[in-house]
Amino acid sequence: MDVELQIIKHLARDAQSTVSFIDEYCASYKDLFPEVRSYECFKYLHLGIISPIKRKSLPEIAKIVGTSSAQSLHHFIAKSPWSVTQVKKRRLSTILTALKENAITVVIDETGDRKKGKKTDYVARQYLGSIGKIEQGIVSVNAYGIYQNITFPLICKIFKP
């Protein structure tokens, strides 16, 4: 069994490189992804999120990062064998380590977005604070940390109707 595992590890390829600071940041999460393709998609999504594209949809991110199809990114989010909870814990632990017990300001933001088009999930008639009335839309509550003029996300919860 050990010999088989060594052979598999020897045959496993390294993840494709992206931009150096994305690769460096994502390296601390690598052990949370059992498949190299999942880890690559994790890096591609980070690259897509910071890219200058207007729509941060999976097809648009796939185009900008050079993957042949958005299907791999969709599979990564929908069916890949990784734990959202473990990634969140690692991210929050990384933030705590970087802060070195310095105090932060926590900002709670409720955001309601009006439904646009016919493809938006989780919408219903509900109060949307951004427009100040009940409309078709989606609501999320976000917690951000602020430290020395740096804003970083802590947690987000989408309220499904």
Q: Would you say the pTM of this structure is higher than 0.85? A: no
Domain extents in the chain = 2-97, 104-159
92 within 8 A of 154, measured Cβ to Cβ? yes
Radius of gyration of the chain (CA): 19
Q: Write the secondary structure of 28-63 as one string of H (helix), E (strand) and C (coil).
A: CCHHHCCCHHHHHHHHHHHHHHHCCCCCCCHHHHHH
Gap between the Cα atoms of 75 and 112, Å rounded: 28
Taking the alpha carbons at both ends of the chain, their separation in whole angstroms is 50
Tens digits of pLDDT across the chain (161 residues):
565 655 545 446 787 777 889 899 999 999 999 888 899 999 999 999 999 998 888 999 999 888 878 898 998 888 888 899 999 999 999 999 999 989 999 999 888 777 776 666 667 788 887 788 888 888 889 999 999 999 999 999 887 76
Q: Which two tokens stand for residue 35?
A: 């498949």
